[in-house]
Amino acid sequence: MKFKFLLATLTLALTTTVMAQSADEAIAAAKAAQKEASSLGFEWRDMAKTIKKAEKAAKDGKEKKAIKLANKIADQIIAIRAQAKLAETAGPTF
């Protein structure tokens, strides 16, 4: 049952993901995703590092690379939401 819920959540989330058109939009979306992940208590290890790489790429004029990196973070929020939802019911089953 949990697997079906997770699969449904991921499918719905993937179909509603919007890709940014510019590096600034993508980085802003990534920062918002990072903030939400932090508020859920599930900020993943490399989120901040990847955002910094995206900002550097944008500064260096590598727009496509910056968008790709930032969208990677923005897309991770989908899995983080599912992780947080499953964590609500996690625990030993006796």
pLDDT, residue 15, reads 42
Per-residue pLDDT of the chain (94 residues; tens, 9 = 90+): 566 555 555 555 544 445 668 999 999 999 999 999 999 999 999 999 999 999 999 999 999 999 999 999 988 999 999 999 999 888 887 7
Output the six-digit token pair for 82. Answer: 């599912």
At residue 84, what is the residue type?
A
Please, what is the end-to-end C-alpha distance for the chain in angstroms? 18
CA distances from 5 to 11, 12, 18, 87 (A): 10, 11, 22, 13
Output the six-digit token pair for 56. Answer: 């550097």
pLDDT, residue 29, reads 94
